[in-house]
Amino acid sequence: MMRLDTRLESCDLMLFGGVGDLSLRKLFPALYQLEAAGVLHHTTRIIAIARKDYDDHSFCTLLESSLRGYIGEDQFDEQHWISLKKRISYLRLELSDLDDYAAIKQAVATLSPTVIYYLATPPELYGTICENLHSSGSIASAGRIALEKPIGHDQKSSRVINDKVSCYFDESRIYRIDHYLGKETVQNLIALRFANNLFGSQWDQHHVDHVQITLAEQVGIEGRWGYYDQVGQMRDMVQNHLIQLLCMVAMDPPTQLTADSIRDEKLNVLRALRPITEKNVKRRTVRGQYREGKINDKACPGYLEEEGGRSNSDTETFVALRVNIDNWRWAGVPFYLRTGKRLADKVSEIIITYKSQRHYIFDPRQRAMAQNKLIIRLQPDESIRLRVVTKEQSLEQGMALQSRALDLDFSGGEQARIPDAYERLLLELMRGNPSLFVRRDEIEESWKWCDNLIDAWKRTGNQLEPYAAGSWGPESASKLISGRGREWHERLKT
Ligand code: BG6
């Protein structure tokens, strides 16, 4: 197999929010894996920054036990940890206090010119941190900044954040994270679509009947009620992850494999999304909230009874949408999107259902089966499967049809461990490759579309529909897709 050059340039990482959940759960385990893979530059240093009272030693003690937990004792390698630990230091800082940034300035003076300022903090602090970095003279000449989601809660507030950050970093140095873009199978979509004429030539209104994208989770709010209740599933999952996936599936071929070529095509999809307004919001959307139920035989409380919950919350934990893209490629092809918490399964899948043959000569009762399906599973068990129709093998059945899967399973074979999305994102960030990050105009266009929809919900007094934890969401989500023999694809059934 041809190996691409994975060596990184010399760069250093300043991790703001270094003791937070995201850093401990995702970023440090990803850095550990990059260390284990030997791809970090030998001079790379990592500075964790937070207000908690640690020093280098006590922070590393905390980090070691956290890494052992997330990576798993059996996978944890002492040597890799020793090498990683040598790179790490801790800086105690009040993020809003300019005086404290003298310590950052001092640290930056000893680092390489390419410093990555990774903000894993609440977004309300992004502006203040950038301003303080600038005022204290702590922005390195080739500094890059990485911003976690959510960037605002609507188009207006996202502009305020973007404007503020762009006073100190120009767009080419801003890396907005959507961790779904770092997932292996999402990246594989580009290869699948644009390196295989078989699929590339059939990716349009003439061949595709409809597209489904499901991002289903079994987890609930996990102690984040205060945050989640302000945003809901629409802002937490649709505005970013679901819409980014939609763009990756629907975009036209980029002219080149460059960041701007890809992002231009994604932006064209966002601009072609048919607005959901007061007129069509009832027919095109379903909003749900989970009630108590059971998942894997375990009782789960309803959303309102979760820790920290309020009994009168109107926040949605489930969204299903029927979306159209008004351009040549997708005219008349509906995209069905759904995402929710406390659903029956943890699965992220994209399903392309192809049209059946116009002139059909087999048993009419089997017609519905005679539709090819391309099933792209992002998680768990990353795989791409194509359901094809073949003859049933038997002497008696004549030309009876059956639907079988051609399987491309990524979890076995040569590469056993599929890298976590954050490993890829950190790697590309250190390489200075912006392709997997979201450009300002994409975020703002996506907010514009979502703002319209949320506004339509408000104006029409759209009612929340309850669903039991452990189900597939409210009944109306099935109605949204039904007709013409369509139904939601469910992993548990296939
Ligand atoms: C985050 C959301 O962005 O994505 C969470 O804020 C959600 O609510 C998570 O649980 C899902 O990510 P993944 O990679 O586990 O599907």
Supply the residue whose CA is at minimum distance from atom 15 of ligand 1: 217
Selection from 202, 131, 133, 218 nearest residue 167 by Cα: 131
> Ligand 1 atom closest to Cα of 236?
6
In a domain, 269, yes or no: no
pLDDT single digits (tens) 59-118: 999 999 999 999 999 999 999 999 999 999 999 999 999 999 999 999 999 988 899 999
- Residue 226: the pLDDT is 87
Residues 243 and 120 in one domain: no
pLDDT of 413 above 70: no
**Which residue in the block uniquely carries the two structure tokens 């385990």?**
29
* Distance separating alpha carbons of residues 203 and 198, to the nearest angstrom: 9
Query: Per-residue pLDDT averaged across 337-343, rounded?
Result: 98
Q: Which residues contact 17 (CB under 8 A, 6 or more apart)?
A: 23, 49, 50, 119, 120, 121
* Distance separating alpha carbons of residues 234 and 318, to the nearest angstrom: 8
In a domain, 357, yes or no: yes
In a domain, 24, yes or no: yes
Q: Which residues contact 72 (CB under 8 A, 6 or more apart)?
A: none
Confidence of residue 411 (pLDDT cuts 50, 70, 90): low
* Distance separating alpha carbons of residues 53 and 92, to the nearest angstrom: 6
In a domain, 345, yes or no: yes
Residues 82 and 126 in one domain: yes
Residues 142 and 191 in one domain: no
Selection from 77, 61, 81, 78 nearest residue 19 by Cα: 61
Residues 194 and 87 in one domain: no
Supply the residue whose CA is at minimum distance from atom 9 of ligand 1: 237
Helices (H), 343-489: 421-431, 440-459, 475-481
pLDDT single digits (tens) 343-378: 999 999 999 999 988 898 998 888 878 889 999 999
Residues 75 and 209 in one domain: no
Residues 117 and 197 in one domain: no
Average pLDDT of the chain to the nearest whole number = 93
How many domains does one find in the chain? Answer: 2
In a domain, 390, yes or no: yes
The best mutation among 151, 217, 238 to test binding of ligand 1, ranked by most ligand atoms within 8 Å of the C-beta, falls on 217
**CATH code where residue 120 lies:** 3.40.50.720
The best mutation among 237, 349, 422 to test binding of ligand 1, ranked by most ligand atoms within 8 Å of the C-beta, falls on 237
The H-or-E segment that residue 243 falls in is helix 243-250
Using CB distances shorter than 6 Å, the residues near ligand 1 are 217, 236, 348
Query: Per-residue pLDDT averaged across 436-453, rounded?
Result: 97
Residues 73 and 208 in one domain: no
Q: Would you state the structure tokens that stand for residue 331, as one six-digit string?
A: 């005219």
Q: What are the beta bridge partners of residue 403? A: 389
33 Cα: distance to centroid of ligand 1 (angstroms):
21
Residues 413 and 354 in one domain: yes
Residues 369 and 225 in one domain: yes
pTM: 0.94
In a domain, 142, yes or no: yes
Residues 225 and 106 in one domain: no
Residues 406 and 474 in one domain: yes
> Ligand 1 atom closest to Cα of 346?
16
Supply the residue whose CA is at minimum distance from atom 5 of ligand 1: 236
How many residues would you count in the chain?
A: 494
> Ligand 1 atom closest to Cα of 378?
16
pLDDT single digits (tens) 174-202: 999 999 999 988 988 999 999 999 999 99
Rg (alpha carbons) of the chain, rounded to whole number? 24
409 Cα: distance to centroid of ligand 1 (angstroms):
23
Domain that holds residue 191: 181-248+285-419+465-481
Supply the residue whose CA is at minimum distance from atom 8 of ligand 1: 236
Last residue of a domain, one of 128, 148, 168: 148
Percentage of the chain beyond pLDDT 70 is: 97
> Ligand 1 atom closest to Cα of 379?
16
- Residue 1: the pLDDT is 41
Last residue of a domain, one of 148, 169, 194: 148
In a domain, 279, yes or no: no
- Residue 47: the pLDDT is 97
* Distance separating alpha carbons of residues 276 and 322, to the nearest angstrom: 9
Last residue of a domain, one of 148, 169, 199: 148
Residues 104 and 203 in one domain: no
- Residue 87: the pLDDT is 97
Residue 153 among the catalytic residues: no
94 Cα: distance to centroid of ligand 1 (angstroms):
28
**Annotated catalytic residue: which of 179, 210, 241, 489?**
241
**CATH code where residue 357 lies:** 3.30.360.10
Confidence of residue 4 (pLDDT cuts 50, 70, 90): very low
How much of the chain is helix, strand and coil, in % rounded to 5?
40, 20, 40
The H-or-E segment that residue 106 falls in is helix 101-109
Q: Decide: 324 and 334 in contact? Cβ < 8 Å.
A: yes
* Distance separating alpha carbons of residues 123 and 72, to the nearest angstrom: 31
Confidence of residue 2 (pLDDT cuts 50, 70, 90): very low
In a domain, 321, yes or no: yes
For residues 335 and 491, the model is more confident at 335
